């Protein structure tokens, strides 16, 4: 008897995360997989780099060759046929360009989380890599999900969020000709506003009260992964963002205490 068998079960929705590994599992590939699973989506991965870290900081980073990143993507696509993917930490220009080429050839719904600036303020991409991100990767996006610091780099001026969030999101969408979800979590406001904007000027706002006493490490990864999962399930962009936003808020309001830190519950 063959060990392989055909199942009559309905095919599962599949998503792909192209991102770095976080040994503390608070962000990156690990949190993407947790988020995919929480939405009933089968998660696959292409790891761009290994990091040694926990919520207190990163002590080491080791990048994979760009060819290895793409080979992981190709093996996933050839068998699992993911309906949507997300990008996270791409680390260098070679990986950015290789991933852009892969997405261009495979036409998969792509959530681009432009990981350029750490919560600490440290820059995570070189100027050359940022240029490639702007010119080659972002134009392929189904949606781009920058925080205020990343949006400032992409727009070329200080992005403040708050009552300016809507006009700033529209400016980004019109500049790059793809939808943008501008995240307001880095503002100093108590009421936080995320704005989804399309190049034609349409917008949708998502508001939440700031959650106190929680480590927000991985919140951006969680949101972009949740959007990816909802797109993989067949939702349109507006519905996917609405459900992903609600998922993140729930996870922050009912956190897990790990090592003395309140972390997002997936």
Q: Which residue has the tokens 């108590």?
A: 190
| pLDDT at 1 (0 to 100) | 46
Tokens of 40: 């009933």
pLDDT level of residue 192 (50, 70, 90 thresholds): confident
Q: Of 47-56, 111-120, 200-209, which range is least confident? A: 111-120
Tokens of 144: 């781009």
Q: How large is the angle between the packed helices 165-176 and 148-155, nearest 10 degrees?
A: 50
256-258 and 57-63 strand pairing: unpaired
Give all domains of the chain, ordered by start, each with its CATH number: 14-263 (3.40.1190.20)
Mean pLDDT within 48-58: 88
pTM above 0.95, yes or no: no
- Residues contacting 169, CB < 8 A, separation 6+: 180, 181, 182, 195, 196, 197, 203
Q: Comparing 221 with 117, which gets the higher pLDDT? A: 221
pLDDT level of residue 7 (50, 70, 90 thresholds): low
């Amino acid at each position: 008897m063959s060990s392989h068998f055909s199942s009559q079960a309905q095919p599962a929705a599949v998503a792909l995360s192209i991102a770095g590994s976080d040994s503390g599992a608070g962000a990156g590939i690990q949190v993407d997989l947790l988020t995919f699973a929480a939405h009933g989506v089968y998660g696959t991965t292409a790891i761009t780099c290994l990091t040694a870290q926990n919520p207190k900081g990163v002590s080491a980073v080791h990048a994979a060759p760009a060819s290895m990143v793409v080979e992981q993507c190709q093996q996933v696509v050839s068998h699992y046929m993911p309906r949507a993917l997300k990008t996270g930490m791409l680390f260098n220009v070679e990986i950015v360009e290789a991933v852009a080429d892969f997405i261009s050839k495979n036409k998969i719904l792509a959530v681009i989380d432009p990981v350029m600036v750490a919560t600490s303020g440290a820059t995570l991409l070189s100027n050359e890599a940022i240029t490639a991100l702007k010119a080659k990767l972002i134009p392929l996006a189904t949606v781009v999900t920058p925080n205020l610091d990343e949006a400032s780099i992409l727009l070329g001026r200080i992005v403040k969020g708050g009552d300016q969030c809507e006009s700033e999101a529209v400016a980004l969408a019109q500049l790059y000709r793809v939808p943008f979800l501008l995240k307001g979590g880095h503002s100093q406001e108590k009421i936080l506003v995320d704005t989804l904007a399309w190049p034609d000027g349409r917008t949708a706002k998502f508001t939440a009260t700031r959650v106190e006493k929680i480590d927000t490490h991985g919140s951006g990864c969680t949101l972009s992964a949740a959007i990816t999962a909802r797109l993989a399930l067949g939702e349109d962009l507006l519905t996917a963002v609405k459900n992903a936003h609600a998922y993140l808020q729930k996870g922050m309001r009912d956190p897990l205490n790990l090592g003395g830190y309140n972390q997002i519950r997936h």
